[in-house]
Amino acid sequence: MKKPLLLLLILCIIIIIILCIRHCHCNPGPVTGNRTDSPSRAPQRIPDQLVVFYKHAPSPQDLTDLKKKIKDAGIDTLHIEVQRCENCTDTLMELWKTPHIETFVHAETVKGGASTGGGTHSVGEDDLGYYLPNYVINTPPEIIPKEPYRSRGQKFRTDTIYSHTADTVRVAILDTGIDPNLFFSYPQYFWVNKTEQANGADEDSNCLKDDLKGWNFANGNNDITDDSRDGHGTRVALFIINEFQRNNTNALQLLILKTHNKNSEGDMFNIMCAMSYAASKKAKIINASWGFYSQYYFVSPYEPIDAIITRIMASKGILVVTAAGNRIAAADDSALHAGIAPADLRNLDRHRFYPACFGGKPNNVLVVTSANDTMVSPSQNYSTTYTDLAVMADTLDEGSLKFKIPLVAGPPEYIAGSSYATAIATGKIAALFPMSSWPAPPSSPKKADVLSKLGTTVGNKTTLEHQVNGGKFIRHH
């Protein structure tokens, strides 16, 4: 009798051990040190690609030394393909391609030198430059629409168009493109490259042929048509245009740079190239209604794009208005596995979303979210450190704070997401800010100065001070 009981006990112990092993494998515990608990929980990246951002123009010897470092890291250097930004006037960024080259960021050879970051699991750095994988960056809607955007079939209202007499403000939208019907309905609100002609040539000598209305960095051509399912870029443009329709002040020029494909996916390299293009065409504001989550915990884990936004764009006199970010199920799941508490998933101090988390200092990055009178939308991010402004939503529907889409014909449509709050803020700033007060390069626009110049347009609510810096807000209407 004792023997069967003993065997049963042993079997139970074995089962318990197996369950414990499985549990430990699926729930590896909290973050320790300067990395995630698993490299697979880093942002999605394109295999075999390495973004190289030079601190200075590289010499031939610099490039020889870099290839040697890559070879010393065990990576094949005989078949490296080097791609530059399509706008070839930018010489500081390159995309290097060869099998497993993205692992170079882990190499000991890029952790020394005159480093500001000391080398990490997300970015490498040495005296020559910064190195990081080519991360995928999405423009996810807060709620996927039941019906796809009616591309090319959407009708737009042609409301009374103001005759703007103040300054012209050029705003670059880095997104999924634009519905051609919107361009034809409101052509006065879009930038046109007057130095270029539709002749297959390159009159402005930037290596982009016929970049008449912008450029498609996702596909490498001049077709900036919005082919995304939710018409993300088009709707961003609608909210910006609407602010100019309502305010007879500055004149608008929208510079459309398609950085995201039909799946609303972009990548780090092309986004940085598009920012460089926007600077070369004298944009004052960049609307960045996109981003990516990360569980890496140090001040600036993505030095190349941080340097582009907070140093290079700032030196060009450009303000970057960006989204605080929305709830994304996959990112939340990764964060929970990395030890972030469920109550902290929307808190940017704990669950970091970039480029929003580049805005923690009084710099040129202004971060926007949606709110009502008492709180930020439960499905959007907040932080008194990183979130600078809330936009009051028009309605609460199905548990989401939503905005009425402006300038569309037909029955009212509503949409949710910090992407559109960002666009409203961009439109307000561009329409109302006196450009005579805008700092001239290389001076940097400071977000606090920008908000203060808007005067009574920006209000303060004590009920929002626990989620938004100073409880600052603006209204959609």
What's the average model confidence in pLDDT over 371-394?
95
Query: Is 414 within a domain?
Result: yes
How many other C-beta atoms lie within 10 A of the C-beta of residue 302? 26
Whether residues 174 and 217 share a domain: the answer is yes
- CA-based radius of gyration for the chain: 24
**Residue matched to tokens 């250097």:** 77
pLDDT tens readout for residues 83-119: 999 998 877 899 999 999 988 887 766 654 333 333 3
Same domain for 421 and 303?
Answer: yes
459 occurs within a structural domain: yes
Q: Which of 95, 99, 104, 97 is nearest to 70 (CA)?
A: 104
Question: Is 21 within the bounds of a domain?
Answer: no
- Using the predicted structure, report yes or no on whether residue 147 has a pLDDT greater than 80: no
Q: Show Cβ contacts of residue 236 under 8 Å, excluding neighbours closer than 6 positions.
A: 173, 175, 287, 289, 419, 420, 422, 423
Report the Cα–Cα distance between both ends of the chain, in Å, rounded.
81
Residues 106 and 195 in one domain: no
Q: What band does 463 get if pLDDT is binned at 50, 70 and 90?
A: very high
pLDDT of residue 25: 36
Given a cut of 70, whether residue 2 has pLDDT beyond it is no
Neighbours of 228 (CB within 10 A): 25
Instruction: Report the domain count for the chain.
Output: 2
| Same domain flag for 129 and 225 | no
pLDDT at 126 over 90: no
Instruction: Tell whether 126 and 176 lie within a shared domain.
Output: no
Helix axes 232-246, 418-432, angle to 10 degrees: 30
Tell me the one-letter amino acid at 363: N
Six token digits for residue 391:
């936009």
pLDDT for position 223: 96
Q: What is residue 6's predicted lDDT score, i.e. its pLDDT?
A: 65
pLDDT confidence of residue 400: 85
pLDDT value for 420:
97
93, 57 contact by CB (below 8 A): no
Per-residue pLDDT band at 399 (split at 50, 70, 90)? confident
pLDDT above 90 as % of the chain: 58
Our measurement of the distance from residue 400's CA atom to the centroid of its chain's CA atoms, rounded to an integer in Å, reads: 22
The residue out of 137, 153, 183 marking a domain boundary is 137
The closest of 357, 359, 341 to 349, measured between CA atoms, is 357
418 lies in some domain: yes
Q: Counting beta carbons within 10 angstroms of the beta carbon of residue 460, is it exposed (0 to 12), middle (13 to 18) or buried (19 or more)? A: exposed
What integer pLDDT is reported at residue 110 of this predicted model?
A: 67
Residue 104 belongs to what domain range? Answer: 41-137
201, two tokens? 């040539």
Alpha carbon 233 to chain centroid, angstroms: 13
440 by Cβ neighbours in 10 Å (0-12 / 13-18 / 19+) ranks as: exposed
Q: Is the pLDDT of residue 71 over 60?
A: yes
Domain contains 17: no
Tell me the catalytic residues.
Answer: 175, 232, 419
Q: CA of 210: how far to CAs of 186, 192, 270, 342, in Å?
A: 21, 11, 19, 49
Tens of pLDDT, residue by residue over 277-326, are 999 999 999 999 999 888 755 444 577 788 889 999 999 999 999 999 99
Distances (CA, A) of 46 to 61, 69, 103, 219, 268: 28, 22, 12, 16, 10
Decide if 314 is inside a domain.
yes
Tokens describing residue 443: 């001076």
Nearest to 422 by CA among 250, 287, 314, 327: 287
In a domain, 30, yes or no: no
pLDDT average, residue stretch 60-87: 94
Whichever domain contains 278, its CATH number is: 3.40.50.200
d(C-alpha 475, C-alpha 391), whole Å: 6
Residue 460 near residue 375 (C-beta atoms within 8 A): no
120/176 same-domain check:
no
- In a domain, residue 88? The reply is yes
In whole numbers, what is the pLDDT of the chain averaged over residues?
85
Q: What is the pLDDT of residue 300?
A: 46
Q: What is the CATH number of the domain that holds 132?
A: 3.30.70
The angle at the Cα of 140, spanning 347 to 318, to the nearest 5 degrees, equals 75
Whole-number pLDDT of residue 305: 83
My answer on whether 76 and 209 are in the same domain is no
Residue 270 is predicted with a pLDDT of 95
Angle CA 91–94–95, to nearest 5: 165
Structure confidence at residue 176 (pLDDT): 96
Let me know whether 228 and 79 are in one domain: no
Up-side HSE of residue 316: CA atoms within 13 Å toward CB? 21
Distance CA 50, CA 104 (A): 8
Is the model's pLDDT at 467 over the cut of 60?
A: yes
Are 234 and 291 in the same domain? Answer: yes
> How high is the pLDDT of residue 171?
98
Backbone φ and ψ of 395, nearest 5° = -160, 160
pLDDT digits (tens, 9 = 90+) for 219-269: 999 999 999 999 999 999 999 999 998 877 899 999 999 999 999 999 999
- Looking at 137, 156, 181, the residue that finishes a domain is 137
Q: How many residues does the chain have?
A: 477
Least confident among 106-120, 132-146, 341-355, 432-446: 106-120
Any idea which of 35-44, 117-126, 144-153, 355-364 has the lowest mean pLDDT? 35-44
